[in-house]
Structure 1
Amino acid sequence: MKKRTRQYIHRQINQITTAFQYFFRQESSSGIILLLCAVIAMILANSGWADIYEHILHREITIGAGQWRLTMSFLHWINDGLMALFFFVIGMEIKREFLFGELKSPLATILPVAAAIGGMVVPALLYITFNAGQPSMAGWGVPMATDIAFSLGILAFAAKSAPRSIAVFLTVLAIVDDLGGIIVIALFYTSELHMAMLLGGVMVILLLFWACRQNIQSVWVYLAGGVFLWYAFLQGGIHPTIAGVLLGFAIPAGNGGTVNLLHRLEHRLSPWSAYLVMPVFALGNAGIMLNAESVGTVFSPIGLGIMAGLLIGKPFGIFMAVYSLIRLGIVAMPAHVTMGHFLGAGILGGIGFTMSLFIASLAFPDGGDLMTAKTAVVVASVCAGLAGTCVFAWTQRRRRAS
């Protein structure tokens, strides 16, 4: 009996470890593609193809017919439609982590969760400091985000010999950060609400959660429900990507093995999210004009608030949360990890990019303010990546010398 129990525990540990390694490899490699697409977008926006690039992004596309016809620009289809798949995958990842992964044990998650909270609160406060009393206050959520793909990609490149626990720490931090960003979007970045459509959406999500409780494994049930939920949220005034997150929460997970629908969908859709959705989002949203005027706007309250939040607020909030918990003896220092590793991870947390650009598109309806926010996000993310690389290199040299 004891032998079978040990074998079961060993299998469960192997499944969790394999899932994390798969997630880490995928996210870190997709960060390289994401960076390449961001560079291509900036080249297009600053070349002779700029007018064609803008025309394609704002070209209206109609899907459906009659009263079910929906017309939006290509950029809106990316941000409101395609990104719903990205958030759907995030929803499944968060559910898996809470049920079977790194977020299952409250004791093991104290450090990254506290760090994530510190890394969201301090940047928001810094942004508010620069924009208090101005309409641009709406952008306080922009510097709160951490880009999982970029941050893990830089970590894999800059700190190949870093302890695995740092990769786990940064991954869990970024996942909690995403959850915080989702809550911020749902609560603070909604338009005028239409209660009839929202009531329909609530009925759909309740039916989907009922199907989950009944362990219904048919993908068509959740696909049909997800489409109706997305449309209800779009028409109801809540950003439709929230429908993707809720749908991810509603997918049945079984006992955490490989035969449940959550595992199958996550493994099939994660590559599409990482290697298609996020690169297309970068192509559509990272096209910023690089000239004296646009670069100068980063020194406006919006730009300074975002850069201060990502480059100062993020590292400070993350590092001080970790330092305080370890110093007070609430959490023990992980094996083979130094405070330099946590400082480097905190700086990499300042790579906002995907989520920051996404929240900026919701916060700033004015094209000029949005371009300022995008420029600041890109500049801060690049600086955070370079600074984090330098800190990890310095930490590794110190460890080899000691």
Structure 2
Amino acid sequence: MNRLSKSFINFFQKEQSTGILLILCTLISLIIANSPVQIFYLELWEIPVRLQFGDFNFFNFHGKPLTFETFINEALMAVFFLSVGLEIKREIYAGELANLKKALLPIMGALGGMIIPAFIYMLFNYGTQTQSGAGIPMATDIAFALGVLSLLGKRVPGALKVFLTALAVIDDFGAIVVIALFYTQDLSVLHLSIALMIWGVLLFLNKVKIYSLIPYLVGGIFMWYFMLNSGVHATISGVLLAFAIPFQKGEKKVNFSKLQHSLHRPVNYIILPLFALANTAIVVNSDIQNIFTQRYSQGIFFGLFLGKPLGIMLFSILACVGKISKLPEGVLWKQMLGVGFLGGIGFTMSIFITLLAFDPISQQYYINHAKFIILTTSLCSAFVGYFYLKKILF
């Protein structure tokens, strides 16, 4: 087994602690949302967020003030996507995705883990008003998945940890592409053009080797604003900014590494917990028993719980049979199946796509129930993956 890099070990440890924190925040939010202070708690997330410069309100979403919840989902999550983008870029330049031969296995696994769940969802929902939710079961929550894997301790082969991490990183990238292509509404060509022009300027600064972070961060703020008003989800600006920031091996990568390190604490210990609290405030009422009979619920459940492991295994086997890649040393197919079940832990990205897939006014019913199914399915996937891996590893 190859020795794990220090940067990978640090990343793995950070993600497992974040996963535990997100679980706690989810439980707290569910309890409070169904407690005597329910109304106060739900209204808390609807408080308007304003930042005035004279008559200009910077946080203005399509002519309407942002609420606290929308501010988290549109603004703070852009910072999360910046962090994700930086991690993807680091993996491509100097991590587990730098070697194409090694990267092809998690790439194929992630591809299957997106295509098969979406296909299963569409089997239940094609031609209905909920077919827009096909992207919901496509995503894996990297923090939760690695958090569960970490509970198994040192018996987990290092190569298996690397595979799951690379798989989840590629999965995140795939989810980002899906969001950009399929969840864009009321497109404003003018605002989108300005945002892309700003990105072009930042890419030019990268090309001429401007390593100071200041112009990139300032440009990123303006790019976010115009992306927010373009109809393309504003969080995409975080990923675009990440790919504009220069990455160089050796001493020149210091600014890139500093930014990535400085984002760790606010993203993992403030932004993601706030996202979990705001988006899992689900009121469990008498009609909750009818959720599992709905097509979109069945599509999400079977897409995540069965589609993920099926897609990851099928495409990984095809990659090995086709000899474009091979299993990492010390890893068995039965262990890969366990990782496939952990891939069914959707949570953050699945909930995020749910908010884009359904209309928050006319389809709030779908959103609340989809969140509940995502939590339920993620819990099932976590339990099955954990106990299956525990049985074969111990």
**TM-score clears 0.5:** yes
Distance 1:313 1:159 in 2: 27
Distance 2:199 2:371 in 1: 33
Structure 1 residue 68: Cα displacement = 4.1
Distance 2:27 2:292 in 1: 19
Does structure 2 retain, via aligned residues, the 8 Å contact 1:197–1:233?
yes
Does structure 2 retain, via aligned residues, the 8 Å contact 1:80–1:240?
yes
Between Structure 1 and Structure 2, how many residues are aligned? 384
Structure 1 residue 257: Cα displacement = 4.6
Cα deviations across residues 245-285 of structure 1 (Å, max 9, x unaligned)?
10011111122557532111001112221111111100000
Give the alignment partner of residue 385 of structure 2, picking from 377, 380, 388: 388
Distance 2:252 2:311 in 1: 37
Q: Which residue of 1 aligns with 2:56?
A: 67
Does structure 2 retain, via aligned residues, the 8 Å contact 1:252–1:260?
no
Q: How does 1:73-222 map to 2 (within 5 A)?
A: 73-222=67-216
Distance 1:308 1:257 in 2: 47
Q: Which residue of 2 aligns with 1:46?
A: 34
Q: Which residue of 2 aligns with 1:226?
A: 220
Distance 1:124 1:159 in 2: 32
Of residues 277-286 and 67-76 in structure 1, the stretch that sits farther from structure 2 once superposed is 67-76
The residue matched to 1:160 in structure 2 has which SS? helix
Q: Which residue of 1 aligns with 2:21?
A: 33
Percent pairwise identity: 39
Structure 1 residue 19: Cα displacement = 1.2
Question: Greater helix percent: which structure?
Answer: 1
Does structure 2 retain, via aligned residues, the 8 Å contact 1:57–1:75?
yes
* 2:56 partner amino acid: Q
Distance 1:336 1:258 in 2: 35
Cα deviations across residues 139-185 of structure 1 (Å, max 9, x unaligned)?
00000000000000000013531100000000000000000000000
Does structure 2 retain, via aligned residues, the 8 Å contact 1:205–1:247?
yes
Q: Which residue of 2 aligns with 1:19?
A: 7
* 2:381 partner amino acid: A
Does structure 1 retain, via aligned residues, the 8 Å contact 2:105–2:326?
no
After superposition, the Cα gap between the structure-2 partners of 1:158 and 1:288, relative to the gap in structure 1 and judged at 3 Å, is farther
Distance 1:175 1:233 in 2: 23
Does structure 2 retain, via aligned residues, the 8 Å contact 1:258–1:264?
no
The residue matched to 1:72 in structure 2 has which SS? strand
Distance 1:109 1:23 in 2: 18
Of residues 214-223 and 23-32 in structure 1, the stretch that sits farther from structure 2 once superposed is 214-223
Cα deviations across residues 208-237 of structure 1 (Å, max 9, x unaligned)?
111112222222211210110000001111
Distance 2:322 2:202 in 1: 44
Of residues 323-332 and 375-384 in structure 1, the stretch that sits farther from structure 2 once superposed is 323-332
Is 1:55–2:15 an aligned residue pair?
A: no
After superposition, the Cα gap between the structure-2 partners of 1:326 and 1:357, relative to the gap in structure 1 and judged at 3 Å, is same
Q: Which residue of 1 aligns with 2:367?
A: 370
Q: TM-score, normalised by structure 2?
A: 0.94
Distance 1:280 1:46 in 2: 18
After superposition, the Cα gap between the structure-2 partners of 1:387 and 1:190, relative to the gap in structure 1 and judged at 3 Å, is same
Structure 1 residue 325: Cα displacement = 3.0
Q: Which residue of 2 aligns with 1:400?
A: none
What is the Cα-based RMSD across aligned positions, in Å? 1.6
Distance 1:285 1:234 in 2: 20
Q: Which residue of 1 aligns with 2:259?
A: 265
Does structure 1 retain, via aligned residues, the 8 Å contact 2:247–2:253?
no
Does structure 2 retain, via aligned residues, the 8 Å contact 1:298–1:375?
no
Distance 1:100 1:220 in 2: 24
Q: TM-score, normalised by structure 1?
A: 0.92
Distance 1:113 1:289 in 2: 38
Structure 1 residue 327: Cα displacement = 4.3
Does structure 2 retain, via aligned residues, the 8 Å contact 1:360–1:370?
yes
Distance 1:136 1:176 in 2: 26
Of residues 311-320 and 59-68 in structure 1, the stretch that sits farther from structure 2 once superposed is 59-68
Does structure 2 retain, via aligned residues, the 8 Å contact 1:217–1:260?
no
Does structure 2 retain, via aligned residues, the 8 Å contact 1:116–1:177?
yes
After superposition, the Cα gap between the structure-2 partners of 1:391 and 1:50, relative to the gap in structure 1 and judged at 3 Å, is same
Cα deviations across residues 93-127 of structure 1 (Å, max 9, x unaligned)?
11111111111111011111100000000000000
Give the alignment partner of residue 376 of structure 2, picking from 339, 364, 379: 379
